[in-house]
Amino acid sequence: MSAITASQDAEVKKGDESVAVEEVPVLKPVSKFTRRFRSPLFNVIIVGLISFTQPGIWNALNYTGAGGQQEPYLVNGANSLTFGLMAFGCTIFGVLATRYGLRRVLIFGTLGYAPYSASLYVNNRYGTEWFVLFGGVTCGLAASALWAAEGAIAIAYPTVKDRGKMTGIWLGLRELGQLIGASISLSLNVKGDGKGKVGYVTYIVLIAIQCLGLPLALLVSPPQKVIRPDGTKVNGPSREKTIAGEFRGALKVLKTKHIYLLIPMLVGFGWNVSYLGIYQTAYFSVRSRTLASLCSGIVSTFANIFWGWFFDLKCFSRPVLAKSTWFFFAAFMFSLFAWQVANEKLYSSAVSKVTLDWAGPGFGRGFAVNILFRFMNESHYMFVYWIIGTFTDNLDNITLTVGIIRSFESVGSAISYGIGAAKTTPMVNLIVSFVMFGLTVLPTTAVVFMVPEHPSDDPLIADDARANGGNDSTTSEDQTVSPNKEETRA
């Protein structure tokens, strides 16, 4: 007797009699290698390594101050262009990911960072400026795809109880890129005790690392093949969709109360990043800037590890964790801004130009506040993605939400880098950053009081927001299959 389909009966004829027999699907055991290769942990590690080779290396360059250049204005202009594209691109690629699959969008996201780093090398060595702006475009398109896909994978693939540490692993590995990149940069520029730009050899090494992103992306599993340790499936889509239907779904997600209340935080919290680039180029020596990049990676990694552990604590409810974390953030950020206003006033009013080097006096005061800002900015990313996971467990919801969130983060970055490219004084840029953070406090406080104890499995996107022509079969990459749990899979 042989099985025909899972839903039809096979007929077994015996003489003149026919006996209807319900078919049983053929199942085969899953090897230990397959379970590990398809596990959420492996996929999150791969996504983290991709992030390490792409935005991690970008951060390693950017956190040396203006991409390692002597003047910040051209690079700030390119960064403004990058984030301007991402303001629209993240939502668009989030929609494309729900239609064509997270893996395909992730692969596309690995193609545009290396040209940007190459443009910095060409500018550093030969003074070519147009290539930097072109690199900003390629980086913006690639980052739109990468940011939309990697966040959805890191949040949706693990079970709810593991999302804190999985998010920490993903973002922590991204900071590994900054740690390695900054270590290379520091070793190549350790004698640069004056102002200026980093050596061009720095870029060659970092570009080589960025080229590893594409082969790593090929190792990521589509959602329907993920095997969670507890046997549950990734809560993915169940029908065909159209692009227009997905855009209507994205609009519905945007109208969700906790999402639109997060917009001020997404736009305003990280506004200080462009200021910190100007601050470093204005007051720090070359080797101190590369040291700042290395230390930023260290404290960011610590932030990811700490908050990943903290958010998965079982001794506190999720609403309590959300409230306590946000109130700490608000108090600490106000203190940092007050400290930095005092520093900026001291340095800008000095009779002679200030150059802070680790061998000189007053270095610790100016250096420490920069590192603390980096710690809080990374903590903010952890907090935002954890908050998303507390509200929903549906893959489509998470994918579209991540795209929308990345878009609004990019709006803030594009405007802040645009102001940085306009040659405003560091004090003006700092005050604007301070005000923007102040505008985030009340709406974000409202969101943390809405955090539930358990996320909902129900889609925020109603079926009528999908295409009417869809049916119950799924042809996209991210379809749901296999009813069985742990040891077997159809």
Residue pLDDT, tens place only, 155-211 = 889 888 888 888 888 888 887 776 776 676 667 666 654 444 555 676 787 788 889
CATH classification number, 35-457, choose in 3.30.70.1520, 3.90.1570.10, 1.10.150.20, 1.20.1250.20: 1.20.1250.20
- Give residue 352's Cα distance to chain centre: 41
What are the boundaries of each domain within the chain? Answer: 35-457
Asked whether the beta carbons of 336 and 372 are under 8 A apart, the reply is yes
Taking 50 as the pLDDT cut, the residues of the chain under it are 1-22, 24-26, 65-70, 193-196, 462-490
Q: What is the pLDDT of residue 334?
A: 95
Q: What is the pLDDT of residue 468?
A: 44
Query: CA 239 to CA 476: how far, in whole Å?
Result: 9
pTM above 0.85, yes or no: no
Q: What is the pLDDT of residue 190?
A: 63
Q: What is the pLDDT of residue 106?
A: 93
